Structure 1
C-alpha cells in the first residue's frame, strides 16, 4: 500500500489544532498540498479567528510544503463552496477530504437545550455533508476521491452527557455507508475514523496520566491509510494510544417467528436467541436485512 501523497490535494477541516493539525501536517509531509480549514472558535463553537489555520499553514510552508488557510464555517455551504473553489483555482483538483471539524456542548439529555443539540449536529453532521457535497462533483469528474468522516466511540457505543454529539457521530457513519456505495463506480472511497486522542475536545474528560497516553499523533496512521490511493472503502477504523481496531455494524442470524397473535410473546421469550451474535454478518447494503428476512420467510413456507 502506497502512502505517498505527492500531487494530491487535501482539504482538512478543523485543522487549526488537535487532530486536524496533525492530519494536515502528516499529509503535507508525505507530499500533499493542503487546505487548512478552521473557524478558529472555542470548543463550544463560539467566536472565530483566521489565526489558527494560518499558524498551521505557516508550519507547513516552513517545512517546505504547500498549503493555504481557510477560516470558513463548515455550516455555511456557500463558504465551503468558495473554499473548494480556492483549492481548484490554485491546484486544479481536490483528491482528499478529511471531515474533522467539530464542537462540544456536553450535558445530560434532560438538561440540554435543544439549540445545543441542533448546533452540534449542524457542525459535525451537516458540516461534513456540506463539505462532501462541495467536493463530490469534482471527485466524480476526476474519477478519484478519498473522503474520511470523523466518527467517535460516543456515536458507535454511546456516552453519558453526549446525546447530541453521539447522534451526529453515528449519523456520519450512516452518511459514509451510502456515499461509499454511490461513489464506488467513480473510485470515491469513503471511510470513518473513530479516534481516541488528547485534544482540546477531551480536556477534562480523562485523568492527566491517561491523556499523556493518547496523543493525537497516534491516530494519524489510521487517517493516512483511509486517505491513501489504496484505501479501503466503507471501513470504520478505531485508533488510539498505538492500537488500531475496526468497528462493524452487523446483523445477527435472527429467528423466524412468522405471523400470529402470539408472536410478541414468543419474541420476548426468545429475545436472547435473536440477539445471539455467533453467526452475525456485516451486510453489504441496507437491502441485505430485508433480503435475509424474506429468505427466512420463504424457507419457512417451503418446510
Structure 2
C-alpha cells in the first residue's frame, strides 16, 4: 500500500469506514508510480544527475562546476506529495538541498522544504517556508531528531483548501492554515510543480553565511527515491480539483495525536519561528501567527 493515511498519521475520526476504504482504493488506483523517468525531467545540471538502473533512485551531485535539479512533468493543484531523501553525509556546510512545490509565475506560490547543510556533529537544519502570491518571509527552522544522511526518510506535504501540512516520517512539523478570513492570502489558485535542487548556498545557509563550502569534500551527493503523489493534475482539463479524499472533513485539521506530535516538535526541536522573531523583523506579528497551531 502507498502512503495514504500512513503519510499523515490521520485517524478515522467520524468518517464511516466505507468512505475511508473508498478513499484508499482511489489513492491506489490514481497515485503515480515512483519511476523517476516517467514523472520527472532534469531542470539543470544534466551531467550532475544520475539515475539507478532500475529507475527508482535519483542522485543529484554538486561540485565546483555545477549543482543539479529536477522537476515533475505535471503541475498539481492540491494533493499529497511524498519523497524519500538521503542527504549529504559528513561536512555539508553551505549546501542547500531543496524539495518544494512552486508555481511558474512572478507572484508565485511555493511550499518549501530546505535542508541546510552543516559541519559534522552539528546536524542539519530543516527550514520550511510558504510563499503566497509572491510573499514569503514565513520561515521556521527545526533540528531533526535523527541523522538524515544515514538513511532515507520520508518528507511529505498534504495541501488542500483548508491547510498545508508538512510531515517528516509521518510526524507533522508544521501546519499553514487557510486564514483568508483575516486577510492572509492562501495557496489555492496556482498549480505547482514538484522540484528538487542541490546548490551552493554558502552565502546564507550555515551560520548566516559564515561557514563556507569545503570543496575538498566534493562531490556532494543527495539521493531520492519512493516518489509518491496523489494530486489533481492541472493539465487534465476534464478533472475537477475539488471533491478528492484530501478535501474530506477528516483532513481539514489535525487529529489529537497529530497535534501532540506537532507540539512535541515545536517544544524540542524548533529553534526559529517567524511568528516569534524578536529581532524587529516584523513591527507586528503577521495575522496568521495568532491562529496557526
Which interval holds the TM-score relative to the shorter structure?
0.3 to 0.5
- Give the alignment's TM-score, normalised by structure 1: 0.32
Larger radius of gyration: 1
Flag the structure with higher helix content. Answer: 1
> Counting strand residues as a fraction of each chain, which structure ranks higher?
2
Q: TM-score, normalised by structure 2?
A: 0.33
